[in-house]
Amino acid sequence: MLRIEGLRKFFGALEVLRGVDFEVETGDVVAVIGRSGSGKSTMLRCINGLEPFQEGRIVVADHVLGEGAADLRALRTEVGMVFQSYNLFPHLNVADNITLAPRVVRGVPRAERDALVDRVLDRVGLLDKKWAYPDELSGGQQQRVAIARSLAMEPRVMLFDEVTSALDPELTGEVLRTIQELAGSGMTMVLVTHEMGFARGVATRTMFMHEGRVWEYGPSEKLFDSPETPELQAFIGLNLK
């Protein structure tokens, strides 16, 4: 579902991604962990075409980035992304936030929109908030609406960029439970996260990034139980105290 080959990304003279290579199989849930500045979020933004890169190749959901001009509009109909900030439109209610992209990008007719909204809100446990506005919702509820909005495009891959980092522990739990339920449904997901328990317990594979490279990558249980490098040993030890 996702393959990255030799990905290099510069911000001016600063090389942020230094030859990233990895693959994600259909149905995998991949947690991306590492210290701030290791390139995690930049890599995720490259996958969705939000950041251009200088070298390498990305193939995601059969869309190719890095070989001429990519059709980013088509890419984003199949690759959903949820950010740390919810990015909901404050002047639109939940239903309209969810249906905006399907209506504009995919041309979903009005007759189908109500059923679509009900379906995705039911998946995130917020069917009763259909007509609420963002400022009437908690942070956790807004983040779950953001997830529902991405699901409304019926993506083949979901990307999550530290979606719980701005939430308190209780709200973090409700968002992670929603993502766990999506994982159980077979959705292919890549999550940049600081939640080590979630990475170990839910992600099928974990990637540790260090200094712009994939330092270790494999089954989550193996990485957490038997880290091979001193860098990952130190990182896990610091974050599991």
Per-residue confidence in pLDDT tens, the chain, 241 aa: 999 999 999 999 999 999 999 999 999 999 999 999 999 999 999 999 899 999 999 999 989 998 766 678 888 888 999 988 888 999 999 999 999 988 888 788 888 888 999 999 998 999 999 999 999 999 989 999 999 999 988 899 999 998 888 788 888 888 888 888 888 888 999 999 998 988 998 899 999 999 999 999 999 999 999 999 999 999 988 765 5
Strands laid side by side in the 205-210 sheet? 79-82, 157-161, 188-192, 29-33, 205-210, 213-219
pLDDT of residue 66: 82
pLDDT of 168 reads 82
Q: Could you say which of 3.40.50.300, 3.10.105.10, 3.30.230.10, 3.40.50.720 is the CATH number of the domain covering 2-89+156-239? A: 3.40.50.300
Dihedral pair phi/psi, residue 161, rounded to 5°: -110, 90
* Helix residue spans in 29-93 (DSSP H): 40-47, 72-78
Q: Which pair of structure tokens corresponds to residue 127? A: 């069917």
Outline where DSSP puts E strands in 61-104. Answer: 63-65, 79-82
Domain regions of the chain by residue span: 2-89+156-239
- Look up the pTM and report it: 0.91
pLDDT at 239: 67
